[in-house]
Homo-oligomer: A and B are copies of this chain.
């Protein structure tokens, strides 16, 4: 396999460069088939990468940037006034084909705007979508999109998400005919808002997709579908509210475990059990939302990602680069559009 290149925005995220760099060093050590472009402040990056061997170091380029997109920067401000930000440089590396993918844990709105502006969407795609894996009760994960790239959504956008999600499930999960579903408030045909009903009708007319109809919120996790499609507003709320409940369970485990000496003993004994359950639903390992529909690969990490979680996002970007996801999406969209003629 030929060498691939990953660009990383070192300055994004709530915990600052050390956490991102720790994940980056891990990726550099574990993946010799990748080169890395580290975008950020050289004074922060250089001391850290000195830990690498000479061979590892030879796969790393440090791209010094003077600016940082902050969490409070409006997307338009980041776009117009921060031409030398680490986030922009990472995306530009993808734009110029110097890199095959990029990852950032910075300001989501700014990342979306910059990626959209610099990379442009694929032909047939109006707007990119944010997509992520979620856990299910079955053996497989499920893809949920859009997670918030597009909060005022159209029927056409939902249709495009379905096509893109199907390609991703095929490539990343090895599914031959991924089951694609629309998220709705009831499984009956009469239910749902106007947008969802229109999209349902449209999706039923496309033989190239294995469209299975509606699923409800709780069915995201029951392995009913491989791809669950919804607008960015609803998808973001579904993601965050289920994450919120997972965090509530984790905080209850902590609280209850510490309530008295018996609970502490019980908790100690149960620890491996609790850990293996938590590992199944831990949002960290589902970190890395891909921005798909663009002419290049952009992966967004949670702002508050730990080093482990950021590594998952890097891993996700590497997989997409290896599988050449944008090219495959382009091909599928052409097929579906031809079918529609």
Contact = CB atoms under 8 A, between A and B. Distances in A.
Interface string A230-271: 101110111111111111110111001100000100110110
Interface residues of A, number: 62
Q: Is the interface of A mostly helix, strand, loop or mixed?
A: helix
A224 to B, nearest CB: 10
A251 B238 CA distance: 20
A281 B251 CA distance: 11
Interface string A157-201: 000000000000000000000000001011010111110100000
B239 A217 contact: yes
Contact of A281 (B108, B196, B249): B249
A233 B193 contact: yes
B241 A185 contact: no
Interface of A: 72, 74, 108-109, 135-137, 148, 151-152, 183, 185-186, 188, 190-194, 196, 216-222, 230, 232-234, 236-249, 251-253, 256-257, 263, 266-267, 269-270, 272-274, 276-277, 280-281
Given A109-B191, A185-B236, A218-B240, 15 more contacts: A108-B186, A109-B186, A136-B248, A217-B236, A217-B237, A218-B241, A221-B247, A222-B247, A241-B242, A249-B249, A249-B281, A252-B277, A253-B277, A263-B272, A269-B269
